[in-house]
């Protein structure tokens, strides 16, 4: 489905599998006990039921043990989340604008693209907003997602582990072509990125290339 990971993916998967593991064990225990009781204490095998009103130590046990486990799960979830909001210093700032039904990425020099190119392994900080309705930028491979909401700026960050491209999807329902609001995140080697960035910036500025040199800032 997706390979490769960001700093978060391993942690999220570990947390997820930890909860899945405990859940599976408890579920098997519950189902096993249930099915066993249904057969062992069927009307035929056990014609005379025993009235058991309850058992306080048991009630305490199955309140306290889940509580401890749940607090462990909560803690793992919180720790992972802290990594997601802790943006490293020097991350490349890119502005993301969502609209029905496409994305625009704006680089520090003003370059705008519809595909997100980044240098591999470098932290990237995205500032998200929307021009119309709510959207949500979702990079499944990195296990991260953040809503793009009009009049608001939300932050997310990541760094790419390897040179390849990843899917970016919209996760907040936004109308007719919501399912097609996909774009790509492309991680390039830093030299390749530099070349792309320079060429693309030059190319983008061409249509607006001023006749008088030196006025390009007013573009």
Partner 1 sequence: MTQEAVSVHAGTRGFYEDTGKRTGIRAWIFSTDHKRIGLLYLMTMGVFFLLAVAFGFVMRLEMLSPGKTVVEAQTYNTLFTLHGIMMIFLFIIPGLPAVFGNFFLPILIGAKDVFFPRLNLLSWWLFLAGGLLALVSVFLPGGAADTGWTFYVPYSVRTSTNVLPALIAAFILGFSSILTGLNFITTIHRMRAPGMGWFRMPLFAWSLYATAWVQVLATPIIGITLLLVMVERWFGVGIFDPTLGGDPVLYQHLFWIYSHPAVYIMILPGLGVVSEILPVFARRTIFGYKFIAFSSVAIAAVGSLVWAHHMFTVGMSNTGMFVFSLLTFLVSIPSAIKVFNWVATLYKGSIVLEVPLLFILSFIIQFSIGGFTGLMLGALAVNIHVQDTYFVVGHFHYVMFGGTGFGLFAAMHYWFPKMFGRMYNKGPALASWFLTTVGFNMLYFPFFFLGYFGMPRRYYDYLPEFQTYHLISTVGSWVLVLGIIVMVVNLLIAYKRGKTAPANPWGGRTLEWTISSPPPTENFHDIPAVTTGPYDYSEYEQRQAEHP
112 binds partner 1 (CB under 8 A): no
19 binds partner 1 (CB under 8 A): yes
Q: How far is the CB of 181 from partner 1 (least distance, A)?
A: 9
Q: How far is the CB of 15 from partner 1 (least distance, A)?
A: 5
Q: How far is the CB of 114 from partner 1 (least distance, A)?
A: 19
DSSP string, 80-139: HHHHHH-PPTTPEEEEEEEETTEEEEE-TTS-EESSEEEETT-EEEEEEEESSS-EEEEE
- The footprint of partner 1 on residues 144-173 (CB under 8 A) is 144-147, 149-152, 154-155, 167, 169-173
- Both tokens of 79, joined, read 């720790």
Q: How far is the CB of 21 from partner 1 (least distance, A)?
A: 11
57 binds partner 1 (CB under 8 A): no
- The footprint of partner 1 on residues 22-51 (CB under 8 A) is 23, 26-27, 30-31, 33-34, 37-38, 41-43, 46-51
Q: What character string, x for contact with partner 1 (CB under 8 A) and - otherwise, covers 174-193?
A: xxxxxxx-------------
Indicate the SS3 state at residue 173.
coil
Burial of 57 (0-12, 13-18, 19+ CB in 10 A): exposed
Q: How far is the CB of 107 from partner 1 (least distance, A)?
A: 22
Candidate segments 65-73, 109-117, 157-165, 198-206, binder of partner 1 by CB under 8 A:
65-73
Cβ proximity to partner 1: between 179 and 209 the closer is 179
- The footprint of partner 1 on residues 67-86 (CB under 8 A) is 67, 70-71, 73-74, 76-81, 83-85
Dihedral class, residue 126 (left if φ above 0, else alpha if ψ from -120 to 50, else beta): beta
- Both tokens of 54, joined, read 């309850």
Strand partners, 188: 119
The CA-CA-CA angle for residues 10, 96, 77, to 5°, reads 30
Q: How far apart are CA 188 and CA 101, in angstroms?
A: 26
Residue with tokens 């979702």: 138
């Amino acid at each position: 489905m997706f390979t490769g990971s960001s700093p978060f993916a391993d942690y999220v998967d570990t947390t997820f599998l930890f909860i899945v593991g405990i859940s599976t064990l408890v579920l098997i225990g519950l189902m096993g006990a249930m099915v066993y009781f249904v057969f062992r204490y069927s009307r035929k095998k056990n014609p005379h039921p025993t009235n058991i009103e309850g058992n306080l130590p048991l009630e305490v046990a199955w309140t306290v043990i889940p509580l401890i486990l749940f607090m462990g799960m909560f803690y793992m979830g919180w720790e992972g989340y802290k990594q997601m909001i802790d943006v490293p210093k020097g991350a490349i700032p890119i502005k993301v604008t969502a609209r029905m039904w496409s994305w625009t990425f704006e680089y520090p020099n003003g370059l705008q693209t519809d595909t997100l190119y980044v240098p591999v392994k470098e932290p990237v900080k995205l500032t998200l907003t929307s021009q119309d309705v709510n959207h949500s930028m979702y990079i499944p491979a990195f296990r991260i997602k953040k809503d793009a909401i009009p009049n608001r700026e939300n932050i997310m960050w990541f760094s790419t582990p390897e040179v390849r491209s990843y899917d970016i999807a919209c996760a907040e329902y936004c109308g007719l072509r919501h399912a097609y609001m996909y774009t790509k995140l492309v991680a390039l080697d830093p030299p390749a990125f530099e070349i792309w960035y320079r060429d693309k910036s030059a190319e983008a500025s061409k249509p607006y290339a001023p006749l008088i040199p030196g006025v390009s800032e007013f573009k």
